[in-house]
Amino acid sequence: MPQYWQRKIERNVERDARVDNELCALGWTVIRITDRAIGRDLQGAADVVEQAALHHPISTKPDGVDISEPSA
């Protein structure tokens, strides 16, 4: 992978982690869903969003779905 793209991806990962931390500190639950996760398991991804919106525990999550929750 060319160095430009490797560094760009690294910066994106760092940014996402920082934003997740900031939002969680404000009490938000952050859900990141990849396009591939939607293609593989749309209903599973939707279930995660619904459970989070209803403040239910999220029992299972499909591959490609990441969840960051506020600290208790």
pTM over 0.85: no
Exposure on the CB side of residue 33, measured as CA atoms within 13 A: 17
Q: Are 15 and 3 in contact (CB under 8 A)?
A: no
Instruction: Check residue 23 and give its pLDDT.
Output: 96
pLDDT given at position 30? 96
Distance of alpha carbon 32 from alpha carbon 16, whole angstroms: 10
Two structure tokens written together for 18: 């920082």
The tens digit of pLDDT for each residue in 1-41 reads 699 999 999 999 999 999 999 999 999 999 999 999 999 99
Q: Rounded to an integer, what distance in angstroms lies between the CA atom of residue 50 and that of residue 58?
A: 9
